[in-house]
């Protein structure tokens, strides 16, 4: 396909392919499909989507066809593979300028460059990374952003390769650019913080976008670019700096208006900081040992003390709870029954955990989980009133523990209670004993607290097997609560029947079942409880 003569024809057909008229659209799509294997077709597409004077929809379509062509015809072994000569020209053309003005097209170009990099970098494309590194240093805002966007997508793609030879290449790449990536991130982060202090919100938003992208690059390099990252002082320095930056960004959120252009991006950056820690813990648990103490102190402080008031938001709380949960449950940190069989790294991590989770700390976490995070919210109670079926589905939603606050708090409670049940059983039993007897129907908070404590007892049923005489509790307290018909007691009736469901396979005498079934029969008259039962 001759570039000069074909460009006009391809442009015309691409224009027709953006039509809403199927009579025009279908023939154009057929023609483009026939050209997919023609030599020179992708060079024409490159010229079209890099020509900013053309219609955006046409350029967008050209990018998509180019991207699909990489998947199908870029590898040497592919049928109708592109020639090496054309690929060399295309690679050079893709990184000539980073000045795409349309965000969506810029993202697609970055993705397709990353797709080429996955196959060709660094052997056939050694100039890609040096070109990107130089391009992110330029002063022009647009070029700097587009180069940084591409840098992220390339890094993300190369980090995802799993063959041993590819891993080695990524380790080498990381060792060469890690220092630069750290300084780039620090520069944009400092710039953002300075601009926020001076009240320059528009400039701060641009700097925050660059902070976010450079942090995304560092996340991939840190998590996937080292075999034993704890030996690298720059890596550990960056990870310790994450905590300081997190504090600065959380404090920043106090001064940024909810409707500000920075607010959403700021929260995304804060969540990305936590993802760096979570990913690093997942991939390198022993390298994370030096961060266990600080991670627990940070997370517990913001989630379970007054330090977090006014700055934390739901997704951040979820991430902090996930971090605590991963440390508590991590098998790498659990010694063998025979201590001599445990590695020194495991024993060191276990020692740090044990020193942190003292009785006062565990008690405060347990009480705060139950009496604060387990409480039904106004929104949940409203949903229950207006749509009980949706409320039930929302409450029991599958794998949502990683992302939603209520399931996340319950999973954290279960894991901590399982790990430290000897310490926490008396704490929970004391909470139960304090709630015995009738509850004031006018005291909504007391009703919600009882609901929360009963929830905790149900979640910890297996751990409490030897500590709770559930049959006696059922006869002396729970059965009577099922028979309270007051409308405000509905949360307790619902919770008690759920609690019995949790315990019935753990510890419940068969001769009590007829009484239970009679109580359930009466409950079936309550429209809002039928779904749960």
In a domain, 28, yes or no: yes
Q: How far apart are CA 482 and CA 490, in angstroms?
A: 9
CA atoms within 13 A on the CB side of 145: 17
Q: How far apart are CA 100 and CA 205, in angstroms?
A: 19
In a domain, 350, yes or no: no
Position 2 confidence tier, pLDDT thresholds 50, 70, 90: low
In a domain, 335, yes or no: no
In a domain, 450, yes or no: yes
Q: Taking 60 as the threshold, does the pLDDT of residue 5 lie above it?
A: yes
Q: How far apart are CA 399 and CA 409, in angstroms?
A: 13
- The number of beta carbons lying within 10 Å of the beta carbon of residue 99 is 13
Could you tell me the pTM of the whole model? 0.91
Q: Looking at residues 36-49, what average pLDDT do you find? A: 94
Q: Looking at residues 312-329, what average pLDDT do you find? A: 96
Q: Looking at residues 272-293, what average pLDDT do you find? A: 98
CA atoms within 13 A on the CB side of 474: 24
Residues 489-526 have pLDDT tens digits of 888 988 999 999 999 988 888 888 898 888 888 777 76
Residues 424-438 have pLDDT tens digits of 999 999 999 998 877
Cα angle value 304/308/310 (rounded, 5°)? 140
Position 483 confidence tier, pLDDT thresholds 50, 70, 90: confident
Residues 321-333 have pLDDT tens digits of 999 999 999 999 9
pLDDT averaged over every residue in the chain: 91
Q: For the chain, how big is the Rg over CA atoms in Å?
A: 30
Residues 6 or more apart whose CB falls under 8 angstroms from that of 88 comprise none
Residues 87-113 have pLDDT tens digits of 999 999 999 989 999 999 999 999 999
Q: How far apart are CA 44 and CA 271, in angstroms?
A: 41
pLDDT > 90: percent of the chain: 75
In a domain, 77, yes or no: yes
Position 531 confidence tier, pLDDT thresholds 50, 70, 90: very low
Question: What total number of domains does the chain contain?
Answer: 2
- Burial (0-12, 13-18, 19+ Cβ within 10 Å), 342: middle
Give pLDDT, residue 261: 76
Q: Taking 70 as the threshold, does the pLDDT of residue 61 lie above it?
A: yes
Contact (CB, 8 A) for 458 and 498: yes
Q: Looking at residues 377-403, what average pLDDT do you find? A: 71
Give pLDDT, residue 341: 84
Contact (CB, 8 A) for 86 and 74: no
Q: Which domain holds residue 75?
A: 1-115
Q: Taking 90 as the threshold, does the pLDDT of residue 12 lie above it?
A: yes
Q: Taking 90 as the threshold, does the pLDDT of residue 172 lie above it?
A: yes
In a domain, 521, yes or no: yes
Q: How far apart are CA 249 and CA 243, in angstroms?
A: 10
Structure tokens that stand for 15 in this block: 């224009």
In a domain, 322, yes or no: no
Q: How far apart are CA 434 and CA 426, in angstroms?
A: 12
Comparison of pLDDT for 64 and 6, the residue scoring more: 64
Position 155 confidence tier, pLDDT thresholds 50, 70, 90: very high
Q: How far apart are CA 396 and CA 257, in angstroms?
A: 34
Contact (CB, 8 A) for 45 and 10: yes
Q: How far apart are CA 403 and CA 32, in angstroms?
A: 42
Q: Taking 80 as the threshold, does the pLDDT of residue 389 lie above it?
A: no
Give pLDDT, residue 3: 53
Q: Looking at residues 457-464, what average pLDDT do you find? A: 95
Position 294 confidence tier, pLDDT thresholds 50, 70, 90: very high
Give pLDDT, residue 530: 47
Q: Looking at residues 449-474, what average pLDDT do you find? A: 94
Which of 68, 83, 115 lies at the terminal end of a domain, its last residue?
A: 115
Q: Looking at residues 293-305, what average pLDDT do you find? A: 96
Q: Taking 50 as the threshold, does the pLDDT of residue 533 lie above it?
A: no
Give pLDDT, residue 393: 64
Which of 83, 115, 147 lies at the terminal end of a domain, its last residue?
A: 115
Residues 193-252 have pLDDT tens digits of 999 888 888 899 999 999 999 999 999 999 999 999 999 999 999 999 999 999 999 998
In a domain, 54, yes or no: yes
- The number of beta carbons lying within 10 Å of the beta carbon of residue 444 is 13
Q: Looking at residues 63-71, what average pLDDT do you find? A: 95
Position 485 confidence tier, pLDDT thresholds 50, 70, 90: confident
Which of 95, 115, 135 lies at the terminal end of a domain, its last residue?
A: 115
């Amino acid at each position: 396909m001759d570039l000069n003569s074909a460009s006009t024809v391809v442009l015309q057909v691409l224009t027709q392919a953006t039509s809403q008229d199927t009579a025009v659209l279908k023939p154009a799509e057929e023609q483009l499909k026939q050209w997919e294997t023609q030599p020179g077709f992708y060079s024409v597409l490159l010229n079209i989507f890099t020509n900013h004077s053309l219609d955006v929809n046409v350029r967008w379509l050209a990018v998509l066809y180019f991207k699909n062509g990489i998947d199908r015809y870029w590898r040497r072994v592919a049928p109708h593979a592109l020639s090496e000569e054309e690929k060399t020209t295309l690679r050079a053309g893709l990184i000539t300028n980073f000045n795409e003005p349309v965000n969506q097209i810029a993202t697609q170009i970055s993705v397709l460059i990353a797709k080429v990099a996955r196959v060709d970098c660094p052997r056939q494309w050694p100039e890609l990374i040096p070109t990107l590194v130089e391009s992110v240093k330029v002063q022009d805002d647009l070029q700097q952003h587009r180069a940084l966007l591409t840098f992220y997508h390339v890094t993300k793609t190369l980090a995802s390769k799993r063959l041993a030879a590819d891993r080695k290449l990524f380790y080498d790449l990381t060792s060469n650019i890690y220092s630069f990536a750290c300084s780039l991130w620090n520069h944009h982060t400092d710039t953002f913080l300075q601009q926020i202090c001076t009240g320059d919100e528009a400039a701060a938003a641009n700097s925050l976008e660059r902070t976010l992208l450079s942090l995304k690059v560092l996340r991939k390099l840190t998590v996937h670019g080292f075999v034993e990252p704890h030996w690298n002082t720059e890596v550990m320095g960056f990870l310790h700096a994450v905590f300081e930056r997190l504090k600065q960004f959380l404090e920043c959120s106090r001064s940024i208006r909810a409707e500000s252009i920075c607010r959403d991006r700021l929260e995304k950056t804060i969540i990305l900081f936590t993802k760096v820690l979570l990913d690093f813990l997942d991939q390198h648990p022993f390298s994370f040992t030096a961060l266990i103490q600080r991670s627990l102190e940070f997370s517990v402080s913001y989630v379970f003390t007054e330090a977090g008031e006014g700055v934390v938001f739901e997704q951040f709380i979820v991430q902090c709870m996930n971090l605590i949960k991963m440390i508590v449950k991590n098998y790498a940190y659990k010694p063998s029954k025979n201590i001599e069989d445990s590695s020194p790294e495991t024993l060191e991590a276990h020692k740090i955990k044990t020193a942190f989770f003292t009785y006062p700390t565990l008690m405060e976490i347990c009480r705060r989980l139950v009496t604060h995070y387990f409480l039904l919210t106004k929104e949940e109670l409203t949903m229950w009133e207006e749509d009980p079926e949706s409320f039930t589905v929302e409450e029991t939603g599958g794998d949502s523990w990683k992302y939603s606050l209520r399931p996340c708090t319950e999973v954290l409670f279960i894991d901590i209670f399982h790990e430290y049940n000897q310490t926490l059983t008396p704490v929970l039993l004391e909470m139960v004993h304090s709630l015995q007897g009738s509850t004031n129907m006018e005291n909504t908070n007391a009703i919600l607290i009882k609901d929360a404590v009963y929830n905790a007892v149900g979640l910890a049923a297996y751990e409490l097997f030897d500590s709770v005489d559930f049959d006696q509790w059922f006869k002396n307290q729970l059965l009577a609560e099922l028979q309270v018909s007051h409308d405000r007691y509905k949360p307790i009736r619902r919770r008690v029947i759920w609690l019995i469901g949790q315990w019935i396979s753990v510890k419940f005498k068969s001769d009590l079942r007829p009484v239970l079934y009679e109580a359930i029969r009466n409950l079936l008259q309550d429209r809002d409880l039928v779904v749960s039962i």
